[in-house]
Amino acid sequence: MHFTQHEAHAEKDVPIMVRGRGVHLWDAQGKRYIDGLAGLFTSQLGHGRHELAETAATQMSQLEFMPLWSYAHPPAIELAQRLASDAPGDLNRVFFTNSGSESVETAWKLAKQYYKLTGKPSKHKVISRATAYHGTTQGALSITGIADLKQNFEPLVPSTFHVSNANAYRAPELTAGALEVTDRESLERFGRWAADQIALTIEAQGPETVAAVFLEPVQNAGGCFPPPPGYFERVRDICDEYDVLLVSDEVICAFGRLGHMFGAEHFDYQPDIITTAKGITSGYAPLGAVIASDKLMEPFLKPGEMFGHGYTFGGHPVSTAVALKNLQLFDEEKILEHVRSNAGSFRGTLEKLLNLPIVGDVRGEGFFYGIELVKDKVTRESFNAEESNRILYKFISKKLFEEGLYCRADDRGDPVIQLSPPLIAGQSDFEGIEQILRGVLTEAWTLI
Ligand code: PLP
């Protein structure tokens, strides 16, 4: 199994999920759960959408497979057109993959080849953030910052460098231990500081060696960190100043998660490349897409050149047909508008949990939130390793599921519960989530 300690299932079987409908999942015993994680930040339209199943069946009967190696097929063409028209600025070139990791690999290779083609072959290094997750293949894992995930596979691909997370809840760098970064001015100062870590790393490595910066609009791993105000504006300036590509890794944040088609739109910055996967099909088929700027792709289109990269199944006809239908349903059902108009009530409902002593911070955007747990709200003291194991993993994580909430309780530095429900969720679902969290977290406090 993926990322699973098999020992943990020695006493209790792995839950077997058999059915989904809307925002709910059912296990093999017929028990119902709220899907508080959209599968894995993926099921944007929710479960059991027969329109998507029918689209897949129709495409399978029509043309089940054709690679995109010097040939094309209608769903890939139409989906590429749709993504190019939705993506910000001149991001008009689309390359299909099968997953987020492949999209990240592709973006790095694209950046490296771009600089070779434009006479700067020494530009190959990548900068990303300390606990960011960018995938598991060896290139993507090298860009990933989480040391625990990497150590068994070292040496990985050299030339990746990690800068500080932009975590405003824990910003001791700026506040000399006072920890409070709440007013707008302090947040902006923190945003500048965090962005400037990228500039310092580019300087330290030598700008002539750095190809790209990979950042998520809201960083997932580490605990759901929205960018401080001004952060991306400053990062864009830095990338321009040093001729470094800005890659917006939107494997989670694209396709409505933040209320816009792309996270870069939500925070109003212009990347050179966007990497996507997950929600592009709402999980009904595997697919990823890398969307790059006209400027970046220009040298690849010259006579005799090509992007020397590809996947047999990248842009599979069934997956691209499903993705097109998925985005058509987004339009018909006004999914982006729904997220934008309900994001405030999702936030408000989760913020009610701040009256519990164990809840230190509730943060996020759109339908993507993290709830950070603490031992002490005033000092923001976190769990130690023993407490994380005993309280977070052995109690909270299990109990939430037993109580009927499928979500994620994880510790990658600090204990955080992550929520990203399907984009069709509404107030009664938010309240259901809040009630289960309240009950479990109240009980968890007695274990500290
Ligand atoms: N990039 C980000 C930001 C992700 O969140 C993920 C997966 O969660 C990936 C890349 C890797 O995607 P996949 O699991 O589809 O390979």
Q: What is the ipTM of this complex?
A: 0.99
Q: Which residues of the chain have pLDDT under 70?
A: 172-182
User: What is the 277 CA–ligand 1 centroid distance (Å)?
Assistant: 8
> Treating both helix axes as pointing N-terminal to C-terminal, what angle do 335-351 and 427-445 enclose, rounded to 10 degrees?
30
* Bridge partner residues of 275 (DSSP): 249, 290
Say which CATH topology domain 6-48+334-445 has: Aspartate Aminotransferase, domain 1 (3.90.1150)
- How many secondary structure helices (H) and strands (E) does the chain include? 16, 15
HSE, CB side, 13 Å, CA atoms: give it for residue 209. 12
Pick the residue whose CA is nearest to atom 12 on ligand 1. 100
Q: Give me the pLDDT at residue 394, please.
A: 93
DSSP assignment, residue 352?
A: G
The CA distance from 320 to 287, in Å, is 7
Q: Could you give the residue range(s) of every CATH 3.90.1150.10 domain in the chain?
A: 6-48+334-445
Which residues approach ligand 1 with their CB closer than 6 A?
99-101, 104, 133-135, 216, 220, 249, 251-252, 277
Query: Which residues lie below 8 Å from residue 406, measured CB to CB, with a gap of 6+?
Result: 25, 33, 34, 35, 36, 37
The CA distance from 448 to 446, in Å, is 6
The CA distance from 38 to 406, in Å, is 9
Q: Smallest Cα–Cα separation from 326: which of 242, 236, 422, 239?
A: 422
Q: What is the pLDDT of residues 348-361, one digit of tens each?
A: 999 999 999 999 99
Q: Give me the pLDDT at residue 173, please.
A: 53
User: What is the 416 CA–ligand 1 centroid distance (Å)?
Assistant: 18
* Bridge partner residues of 365 (DSSP): 368
284 by Cβ neighbours in 10 Å (0-12 / 13-18 / 19+) ranks as: buried
The CA distance from 67 to 294, in Å, is 23
Q: Give me the pLDDT at residue 180, please.
A: 58
434, 353 in Cβ contact below 8 A?
Answer: yes
Q: Could you give the residue range(s) of every CATH 3.40.640.10 domain in the chain?
A: 52-333
Q: Which CATH class is domain 52-333?
A: alpha beta
User: What is the 100 CA–ligand 1 centroid distance (Å)?
Assistant: 4
DSSP assignment, residue 309?
A: -
Q: Give me the pLDDT at residue 8, please.
A: 74
Q: Give me the pLDDT at residue 183, please.
A: 80
Helix (H, G, I), strand (E, B) or coil at 22: strand
Q: What is the pLDDT of residues 254-298, one digit of tens each?
A: 999 999 999 999 999 999 999 999 999 999 999 999 999 999 999
Q: Give me the pLDDT at residue 219, please.
A: 97
* Bridge partner residues of 371 (DSSP): 362, 417
407, 439 in Cβ contact below 8 A?
Answer: no
* Bridge partner residues of 78 (DSSP): none
Q: What is the pLDDT of residues 46-76, one digit of tens each?
A: 999 999 999 999 999 999 999 999 999 999 9
pTM of full prediction above 0.95:
yes
Q: Smallest Cα–Cα separation from 373: which of 441, 274, 273, 296?
A: 441
State which ligand 1 atom lies nearest to the alpha carbon of 249.
3
State which ligand 1 atom lies nearest to the alpha carbon of 99.
15
Helix (H, G, I), strand (E, B) or coil at 387: helix
In which element (H, E) is residue 372 found? strand 368-373
The residue behind tokens 């839950």 is: 15
Query: Which residues lie below 8 Å from residue 422, measured CB to CB, with a gap of 6+?
Result: 22, 23, 35, 38, 43, 44, 45, 46, 47
